[in-house]
Amino acid sequence: MSTADSDGAVLMPRIDQTGAAVGDSSLTDVAVRAGVSTATVSRALRGLPSVTEETRARIKAVADELGYVVSPSASRLATGRTHTVGVIVPSIDRWFSGQVIKGVEQVLRAAGYDLLFYNLGDDEGRARFFEAMPLRRRVDAVLVLSVPLQDPEVAKLRSLHLPIGLVGASADTFSSVRIDDLAGAATAVRHLIGLGHRDIALISGGTDVPPHFTTPTDRRRGYLDALAASGIGYDPALEAAGDFTITGGERAMSHLLGRPHHPTAVFALCDEMAFGAMRVLRTSGLRIPRDISVIGFDDHEMSDLLDLTTIRQPVVEQGATIARLLLDRLSAEAHTRPHQNEVSLPTQLVVRGSTAPRRARRA
Amino acid sequence: MSTADSDGAVLMPRIDQTGAAVGDSSLTDVAVRAGVSTATVSRALRGLPSVTEETRARIKAVADELGYVVSPSASRLATGRTHTVGVIVPSIDRWFSGQVIKGVEQVLRAAGYDLLFYNLGDDEGRARFFEAMPLRRRVDAVLVLSVPLQDPEVAKLRSLHLPIGLVGASADTFSSVRIDDLAGAATAVRHLIGLGHRDIALISGGTDVPPHFTTPTDRRRGYLDALAASGIGYDPALEAAGDFTITGGERAMSHLLGRPHHPTAVFALCDEMAFGAMRVLRTSGLRIPRDISVIGFDDHEMSDLLDLTTIRQPVVEQGATIARLLLDRLSAEAHTRPHQNEVSLPTQLVVRGSTAPRRARRA
DNA sequence: ATGAAAGCGCTAACAA
DNA sequence: TTGTTAGCGCTTTCAT
């Protein structure tokens, strides 16, 4: 006979056949050790009211002693709630995604939620995702970060019957957070107009415009509106598409320089395209802002370094906000009171060295 | 009496009191409908061998018809395996993190694993994490991405008794993937020496050097080794710390310019510090590479745009590789055969426009 | 305030 | 090859 009683093994880390330590101690272990029922331990540890402070303290002490941690699988199975939010991003390796996720993570983590993470990647990966819908039964809610959703994809998401949150888009009855793209873009263009520019080029998005991703169209409309408000006519020759990437911005700027009507200023619908444009301008021997002004949109982390005037949008905060909206819908009380579903956050003009007053034309 | 028999509800989406559709259909539903036992359904759907192709087909048909999806919570509880990997990053909103996660995600997702995501954030968040160890019971393995681990943190991780993977560090018996920082740095410095430079400044890391995060020290040693190999003495006045950030790089470069011994070339231990240095050089009226050459390390996504010569490290691939090592340890066969635990990936010199031959000193 | 017991939906022996 | 059955570790009525 060993010195331990027959239940002694409960107190030691149990080892399975692979040699790895398994699941530590269970609720039952704690209950036995504390001389109460498993129900009471469960209640005590979850902070439910119907437990004496004294027993709760005792149970907590035992739990700590045994290093007890609740098994998420078991409580998920019992309650049907996963305390997990699925987060879908188009591509994790982009500045915007990282920023938004940061905000999402902070809020969700603080509320005790886990993040289940899906990177869509290329078109194929995206198709696979919406085909398999791997979030079913694993999450309580879904967050979709600036993915231009197609109608069938919206339908798929809705069929999950879960709270859905969108950043940078709005659709259906989903919660959404975005910025006022139109106003921001108009502000950018007005800044240029205020500096005396009238020949203002636009580096816009691509040609394919998914219905629920209005960022490119809204920003473009802001450009048009600002021009119109100042009585400046729109010249199609001053617009080129750059598909929201650095290299796209380079291509677009090259096109613009190849045309007869030369602008004195350029508005790129995002900073990355502005970066590409700036590079082309420099290698073309044009000086910024002396020969041409450049303004972007986003306030990318590199914009300060590159001295790019831009429209700042609060990115981390958009993540935090959509997370809060979702938590709101998930909380019990939410079923009774109405909750806010669409939030728009303000943008802000950040003037740096890439914009300056228009100079008199040479020749 | 409704037209459905007493079991009819099983075939309809069940609605709970909140109005949301709940858990769809269960294994039992499928079993009943297919006229087999739940065990057979389970086997069939998991592709186990001991099922007739005929019954498997029938079961699959029924499952599809009912839109059946396995409940992860239930199977986790039954098997003890979560099919989830915890991924810990110091800060998600950095270029390096996003790249590595991309690689990790691709591999893990393809193997049917979920990613549970933890962003450590500031020191406080980090302390909280290692205190609470929220991964216990929720993951089968843990990936730590370029977090400079302290000894107590290593101990905490080990106490999980799970496979642990590290990127950019190595410790304990953990699997790890990294690059040859020393060789890469030496290559960078040799490139400068080959261009005729002998007064080569170093923008190094911070002062606090965690024991398991050897990147800064290794790269610095590469610098020293390369100098020594060419018979060039080390001058402490040519070294300044920039803590691996853009602003740190700016500070370091300013310091260097304030000293009597002026370099003709600068090696920054990472591209971001090089970015900061380049900016300070430009605003100081120095031209790159005419007056001074700059070389970085990493091949950050912006380095191409900024025309920075650098040492490229394969970042996405490091993520993919560590994920594979971990999957290896998780697979059943892994218990029998030995597996590789430490992988080192090669770096590559990428020559761009920021480095050029040394010119004769003026004055 | 606490306990007993019935699940939650699956998997894995063990039988047949 | 297929079925029976006993859990996995919790939560939650319903009693007490």
- pLDDT tens, position by position, A102-153: 999 999 999 999 999 999 988 999 999 999 899 999 999 999 998 888 889 9
For B303, the 3-state DSSP assignment is coil
Segment B242-271 shows an average pLDDT of: 95
Give, in Å, how far the C1' of D9 lies from the CA of B167: 34
Q: Which of residues 204-223 of B touch strand C (CB under 7 A)?
A: none
Q: Which of residues 296-355 of A touch strand D (CB under 7 A)?
A: none
How would residue A169 be classed by pLDDT, with cut points 50, 70 and 90?
A: confident
CATH superfamily membership of B84-179+315-344? Response regulator (3.40.50.2300)
Segment A156-163 shows an average pLDDT of: 92
Contacts of A339 (CB under 8 A, 6+ apart): A325, A328, A329
CATH 3.40.50.2300 placement within chain A? 84-179+315-344, 181-313
Crossing angle for the helix pair A95-110 and A315-330, nearest 10 degrees?
40
Do residues A120 and A126 touch, judged by C-beta distance below 8 A?
yes
For A270-328, write each residue's pLDDT tens digit: 999 999 999 999 999 999 999 999 999 999 999 999 999 999 999 999 999 999 999 99
The reply to whether B77 Cβ lies less than 7 angstroms from strand C is yes
What pLDDT is recorded for position B8?
Answer: 33
Residue A192, min C-alpha distance to chain B (Å): 25
The reply to whether B62 Cβ lies less than 7 angstroms from strand D is no
DSSP conformation letters of A190-243: HHHHHTT---EEEEE--S---TT--HHHHHHHHHHHHHHHTTPPP-GGGEEE-T
Joined tokens for residue B241: 């710390």
For A87, the 3-state DSSP assignment is strand
Average pLDDT score, chain A: 89
The span from the CA of B291 to the CA of B265, in Å, is: 9
Q: In this complex, which of B18, B69, B276 lies closest to A137 when CB atoms are compared?
A: B69
Residue A106 buriedness (CB in 10 A; 0-12 / 13-18 / 19+): middle
Q: Do B305 and A246 touch (CB under 8 A)?
A: yes
Q: What is the pTM of this model?
A: 0.89
Distance spanning both ends of chain A, measured CA to CA: 105
Q: Where are the alpha helices (DSSP H) in chain B?
A: 27-34, 38-46, 53-66, 72-79, 95-110, 123-132, 151-158, 181-194, 215-229, 246-257, 271-283, 315-330
What is each CA distance from A175 to A112, A170, A213, A243, A342, in whole angstroms?
20, 8, 14, 27, 6
What is the percent of chain A with per-residue pLDDT over 90, rounded to a whole number? 79
How would residue B6 be classed by pLDDT, with cut points 50, 70 and 90?
A: very low
Give, in Å, how far the C1' of D16 lies from the CA of A39: 14
Q: Do B316 and A116 touch (CB under 8 A)?
A: no
Give strand D nucleotides closer than 7 A to any protein Cβ.
1-5, 7-13
Q: One-letter amino acid identity for A149? A: L
Q: Which of residues 144-173 of A touch strand D (CB under 7 A)?
A: none
CATH 1.10.260.40 placement within chain A? 3-79
Asked which of A47-56, A164-173, A321-330 is least confident by mean pLDDT, the reply is A164-173
For B76-100, write each residue's pLDDT tens digit: 999 999 999 999 999 998 899 999 9
In CATH, what is the architecture of A3-79?
Orthogonal Bundle (1.10)
Q: Which nucleotide is at minimal CA–C1' distance from B31?
A: D3
In CATH, what is the architecture of A181-313?
3-Layer(aba) Sandwich (3.40)
